[in-house]
Structure 1
Amino acid sequence: MTLTASVDTTLTEIISGTTPGAACSPDLVAKPWVFDLQPPSYGPGSSMGDVIPAGSPRQGTLPAFYREASSEELDRRIRSAKETLGDRLVILGHFYQRDEVVAYADYVGDSFQLATAAKARTDAEAIVFCGVHFMAETADLLSTPEQSVILPNLAAGCSMADMANIDQVEECWEQLTELFGSEADATGRVPVIPVTYMNSSAALKGFCGRNGGIVCTSSNAETVLKWAFERGQRVLFFPDQHLGRNTAKAMGVPLEQMPMWNPNKPFGGNDALALQSSQVILWHGFCSVHKRFTVDQIERARAEHPGVRVIVHPECPMPVVDAADEYGSTDYIRKAIEAAPAGTTFAIGTEINLVQRLAAEHPEHTIFCLDPVVCPCSTMYRIHPGYLAWVLDSLLDGVVLNQISVSDDVAAPARLALERMLAAKPPIAAGA
């Protein structure tokens, strides 16, 4: 496989036959605006098999100029717009974005790091978020009312975030309240505390804010669960079952006390006894990027690269996390590679754009993706320099396109849930 950081280049070479390898879909070499005109879907890539909810945001037709412009022309326009707009603009790029978009980002990071960066840039009138919909919503929650948050392609959603919608969660909560009641026990702990992963809609963050709950990230999930257990007898964790299971298991919660709630089944597919004895009720959601990683891939990596260091993301299934040497957030993975002695071999279980970028940035190491099939995040891949140039040119004309705004009735409780997360600090280790 090519050593370039660009997954776009890798895919083109694989599908044209000039580089050995495999891609999960030949459609990945098509421009994303091709899929804007088709029936709603997440597009080619890891989430292409997931069912997109009715009413999901759709992107209108990108003007022909931006569809037909060369990469050199798009580059010229983007850089010119950035220079003209100056401090009035900040561009945020998620770790999983294609390299051709990350090249223009003022900040690169995970969803919460980027939202925090947006909060710090109060001088910017426009925040262009090259990520997915829930990330742009979080940036809107943390930015000022005078700032505009822009998502270059409205079709850049998140299939995992879509696996739990507000109506389903409200219905689940109603049934749990009917079963457990709402009164605190003798220690003052209420029957259930809702915890939502950052990778969720603003509506779900608002739900947690209204019901005594909290938000978590992949890096602080254990701290947040400890916070929740201090206040509740059990936790309802959504939308990602794997992050919830892996984190709670590491904290000593038995698997039999972590029933799954499937919103498509009566009572979530459970009986009252299983729920009564639960400590963590897991939502039936998952990330299709991280679901691709397997124990067989880890065993193959160990056989082919003796001494390999295997690090996977906590959104991976439990057997994969258990088989790896380490697991952690995207930021954890990045820092582990930066701190390793030269010559370390890494097999990484997370999105391919980040893995290939890390490999290009750290030639002193051998770094490869556990999954040999190149299959980027479908929805991150909906962002392209053509859309970025389009929204930036419009800003030059004084027009804000694709603005993401969270309504006040949702924003206030959602901010409360985020503030609880920020206030929940991990314990300081002895001697630290």
Structure 2
Amino acid sequence: MTTSTLSVDTEIQLIAAGAPGATGSTCTPGLADGPWVFDLQPAPSYGPGASLADPIPADTPRQGVLPEVYKTASKDELDARIRAAKATLGDRVVILGHFYQRDEVVQYADFVGDSFQLANAALTVPQAEAIVFCGVHFMAETADILAGESQSVILPNLAAGCSMADMADIDSVEEAWAQLAELYGTEPDADGRVPVIPVTYMNSSADLKGFCGRNGGIVCTSSNAATVLEWAFERGQRVLFFPDQHLGRNTAKAMGVPLEQMPMWNPRKELGGSTEAELLNARVILWHGFCSVHKRFSVAQIERARAAYPGVQVIVHPECPMPVVDAADSAGSTDFIVKAIAAAPAGTTFAIGTEINLVQRLANEYPQHTIFCLDDVICPCSTMYRIHPGYLAWVLEELVEGRVVNQISVSADVAVPARVALDRMLAARP
């Protein structure tokens, strides 16, 4: 259970090539291929990685053909092109890089953080004409909602979506909302609390953020989920929480909500698969969604880590299943994990349950600690991995030529109510 000092991308390439001394394994050999190989497949998929087996909506955005020069360029050639384009563009462009991006992309980011931090970072650069978001689709949408009218938000690869976000679509949520309204009614109780408040995780489409804004709801992050649920309980008798069941369950459980008051809503079943009695007794209705990266972590992995490293500190993300969170020493957002490691005394051993690119980067940044991923198999987020330096070089050089490609634009009818829900989230500080 050791973490290589190599980048995840380099390690994947060495394993795929069968290089001497290469250790470890990957969840699929397709990780070694350029993401453009999967962009043009007849049947779209999330691509190799943790979400490879997840069903993908038919209307998922597709990435067009990447010019050949960016596919065949060496790492050094791409590095030179990216740096030259950045120098030419200056403060006209800002590059945002999510924690889960490969090191080969993160190195060019002006800001690195989680989706919430990066959305805020975009607000600090009003002079930038273009915001290049090295993350996934819902993050770029959020940046566009918060950005100035003259700013363009660019996603280097349009196929970089999110399987969890896609597990709750606007039609399914609207249908669930209608069924709940029929069951609960719409009148507030004696304390003025409405029957149900919608809460969407940041990892959701702009449509769902807009839905929450229109219906008295709010957006949450993994950092402020408990604060948001408190906000919602003050205004509603219960909460419809989507799309991640695990964040909702783990957060509500820690707040003292019994499991029997957290029924699941499966959008493919009448009343979500629950009885009227179960829904009437509910405090938190959990959507049947999950993160395939964090679903890979298990209690058995934690037990192996404790056996191999007595005294190890196990930290996992709250998107992990409840038994994993219960077995860990602590759970928190990516920012929580980063800060916990930074504050620890030298010589601490950490087993981390989150995306491998962040874990490996932390291991390299804090050599005074022993840091490794709970999952021995290298299996990065499929969609974060769709962003490659070749795409970054392409969108930057297009900007140099005065062309904006892969722009993410949220229509005003969605952006306005979504901004309401996001502003409520920004005010809900832990």
Sort the TM-score into its range (normalised by shorter chain). Answer: over 0.9
User: In structure 2, what is the equivalent of residue 212 of structure 1?
Assistant: 216
Aligned partners of 1:307 and 1:345 also within 8 Å:
yes
- 1:123 is the counterpart of 2:124: no
Q: Which residue of 2 aligns with 1:26?
A: 29
CA distance in 1, matches of 2:224, 2:3: 35
1:82 alignment counterpart = 86
Q: CA deviation at 1:4?
A: 2.4
Q: Which amino acid aligns with 2:363?
A: A
2:11 counterpart letter in structure 1:
T
Q: 1 CA distance for matches of 2:35 and 2:283? A: 43
Partner of 1:430: none
Aligned residue in 1 for 2:337 = 333
Tell me by how many angstroms 1:13 deviates.
2.0
Identify the residue that residue 265 of structure 2 maps to in structure 1. 261
Structure 1: stretches of 5+ with no match in the other structure: 427-432
SS of the residue aligned with 1:194? strand
Question: Structure 2 CA distance, aligned partners of 1:217 and 1:421?
Answer: 8
Kindly indicate whether residue 399 of structure 2 is the aligned counterpart of residue 395 of structure 1. yes
Q: TM-score, normalised by structure 2?
A: 0.98
Question: Whole-Å Cα distance in 2 between the matches of residues 160 and 424 of structure 1?
Answer: 23
Letter in 1 for 2:259: L
**Distance across 1 between alignment mates of 2:269 and 2:393:** 45
CA deviations over 1:214-256 (Å, ceiling 9, x no partner):
0000000000000000000000000000000000000000000
CA contact (8 A) 1:5 1:99 kept: no
SS at match of 1:195: strand
Among 384, 387, 401, which residue is 1:383 paired with?
387
Return the letter of the residue paired with 2:80.
Answer: R
**2:324 paired residue among 320, 324, 329:** 320
- The Cα shift of 1:12 comes to 1.6
**Which runs of at least 4 in structure 1 moved beyond 3 Å after TM superposition?**
none
Q: Residue 141 of structure 2 contacts residue 205 of structure 2 at CA under 8 Å; is this kept in 1? A: yes
Note if 1:358 corresponds to 2:362: yes
Alignment map for 1:84-233 (pairs within 5 Å): 84-233=88-237
Alpha-carbon separation, structure 1, partners of 2:183 and 2:269:
16
Q: Within 2, Cα distance between the matches of 1:403 and 1:124?
A: 15
In structure 2, distance between residues paired with 1:59 and 1:374: 25
Amino acid at match of 1:20: T
RMSD: 0.8
Q: Distance in 2 between matches of 1:96 and 1:75?
A: 20
Question: Is the 1:188–1:231 Cα contact (8 Å) retained in structure 2?
Answer: yes
Cα displacement (A) at 1:30: 0.4
Amino acid at match of 2:221: T
The alignment of Structure 1 onto Structure 2 pairs a total of residues equal to: 426
The AA in structure 1 aligned to 2:5 is T
**Does 2:423 align with 1:419?**
yes
Give the Cα–Cα distance (whole angstroms) in 2 for the partners of residues 294 and 70 of structure 1.
38
Q: Does 1:9 align with 2:4?
A: no
Task: Give the letter for the 1:42 counterpart.
Answer: Y
Q: Following TM superposition, by how much is the alpha carbon of 1:2 offset from its aligned partner in structure 2, in angstroms?
A: 6.2
What is the deviation of 1:271? 1.0
* More moved, 101-110 vs 262-271: 262-271
Letter in 1 for 2:191: T
Amino acid at match of 1:402: N
Q: Which runs of 5+ in 2 are unaligned?
A: none
Distance 1:66 1:16 in 2: 22
State how far apart, in whole Å, the 2-side matches of 1:394 and 1:139 are: 20
Query: How far 1:14 sits from its partner (Å)?
Result: 2.2
- Tell me, in whole angstroms, the C-alpha distance in 1 between the residues paired with 2:342 and 2:90: 31
Which residue in the other structure is 2:49 paired with?
Answer: 45
Q: Secondary structure at the match of 2:94?
A: strand
CA contact (8 A) 2:3 2:371 kept: no
- Is structure 2 residue 251 aligned with structure 1 residue 247? yes
> Is the Cα contact below 8 Å between 2:3 and 2:363 reproduced in 1?
no
How far off is 1:3 after superposition? Answer: 2.5
Letter in 2 for 1:352: I
In 2, Cα distance between equivalents of 1:425 and 1:78: 37
Partners of 2:429 and 2:38 in 1: CA distance: 43
Q: Does the CA-based 8 Å contact 1:5-1:353 persist in structure 2? A: no
Deviation at 1:425, TM superposition (A): 3.3
